[in-house]
Amino acid sequence: MNTEDEITAKDIQKALEKRTSLLPQEKLRLFVKYYFARRDMYLGILGKNPPPLYVLEIPVLKEKADHFKMAFKDVLPDVAFYYAVKSNNHPDVSRALVKSGFGLDVSSSLELEMALGLDAGDIVFSGPGKTKEELALAAGNSGRTVVLLDSFGELTRLESVAAMNNTTVRTGVRLTNNPAGLWRKFGILLSDLPDFWHAVQKCPHIRLTGLQFHSSWNMTPVPQIEFIEKLGKVLEGMCEEFKRAVTFIDIGGGYWPEHGEWLQPAGTPEGMLRKALGKEAGSAGDHYWVPALPIEHFAENLGRAVKRHILSVTECRICLEPGRWICNGAMHILLSVIDKKAPDLVITDAGTNSIGWERFETDYFPVLNLTRPFMKEIPCDILGSLCTPHDVWGYSYWGEDIQNGDILMIPSQGAYTYSLRQNFIKPLPMVVVI
């Protein structure tokens, strides 16, 4: 007898018939053409710096920062911006964004020490499981650092640390917007906010000044808007003393770059199901696309929701924590072909330890042959030199041919790649900043 939780053959067939949208060819071609047009600049870097390399473009960071700020400043009366350091922790990324008027959002003592070393004047320290040593570092720099508390236990630990240092620490508290599954590790329940406020009153060295929540992989602003509505209802019921204490509400980051998510067949839901059934995920020549809305759409709709549900209840600054949206297009990887083993199989001089995970088995980004540029994509397994079969850069390249010594580029690899790099088998590439 079937139960509601059983998966039937009909369910499987229905799932297999779903189709993720194909990546529009014109969109892909414009992307490739843009980087081919700049090939001389990238190849010119190699005169003094042999591949493999990370290439960090500071002007791109500044342009993205200005674009993001302008979108939200147009719709919110008082707004501040914090770069999520975890998305790319290279110091020059944070340095450039501090100069562009961003604060820094850090989530470890390593990141906090870097932020302090860069003379960042506005830092938020988020993340679960902060140790006493990390809390002590934040408390010792309370003039520049706001601690986003993650639990009642963390509140107690910070009060103990602050009392020992005879200092008062500015704090916020993270609210979990997904109390089910693994995301429940972050923050406190929204329903526990009144109790948390009462607990803060018993901590003389803690000054609660704000709230924070975060949703990730935001292709649209809908998840954020839904939580803003819930938060507004809770704020209405909080006491006036609490409302006066709250000077900021941080609505998080997770904004997906406007080009959307580009996928290999194995990265689509239907492709994953085919693989689970022992079948091929699909044709490697097909590229798929999950669209994301422009940041102006996020700003307009989030601004409207914030004004209606938050600013109508309490006056405060609204903070945002973009990471991926800012840094993804600012860093690229250059590598060279070290061994052409077959017409459709080459080995490069860099492995995917440079990005820290088997990204390109599921994610698609074009591999560009800068040495032999041509606006045609040719099937070929582009593999790294690590001693593992999961060392994949792509299953095709853009160019007229591919030979030993050719310089290949994987553009727009600035988010959650450099930060995840691993000391595994091969040396890590150096970073060239332009």
Q: Is residue 273 part of a domain?
A: no
Domain end marker among 326, 348, 369: 326
Domain match, 228 and 341 both: no
Q: What is the pLDDT of residue 16?
A: 65
Domain end marker among 304, 326, 348: 326
Give how many domains the chain has, as a whole number.
2
Domain match, 402 and 417 both: yes
Instruction: Say how far residue 340 (Cα) sits from the centre of its chain.
Output: 34
Q: Is residue 85 part of a domain?
A: yes
Q: Is residue 6 part of a domain?
A: no
Domain match, 245 and 356 both: no
Q: Is residue 70 part of a domain?
A: yes
Domain match, 89 and 230 both: yes
Domain match, 48 and 158 both: no
Domain match, 297 and 341 both: no
Domain end marker among 274, 304, 326: 326
Domain match, 159 and 41 both: no
Q: What is the pLDDT of residue 284?
A: 85
Q: What is the pLDDT of residue 15?
A: 66
Domain match, 41 and 69 both: no
Question: 371: domain range?
Answer: 30-54+329-421+428-433
Q: Is residue 270 part of a domain?
A: no
Q: Is residue 116 part of a domain?
A: yes
**CATH label of the domain that carries residue 355:** 2.40.37.10
Domain match, 142 and 189 both: yes
Q: What is the pLDDT of residue 355?
A: 96
Q: What is the pLDDT of residue 134?
A: 97
Q: What is the pLDDT of residue 1?
A: 39
Domain match, 303 and 228 both: yes
Q: Is residue 71 part of a domain?
A: yes
Question: Which residues in the chain come in under a pLDDT of 50?
Answer: 1-2
Q: Is residue 283 part of a domain?
A: no
Domain match, 379 and 303 both: no
Q: What is the pLDDT of residue 72?
A: 97
**CATH label of the domain that carries residue 213:** 3.20.20.10
pTM: 0.94
Domain match, 244 and 376 both: no
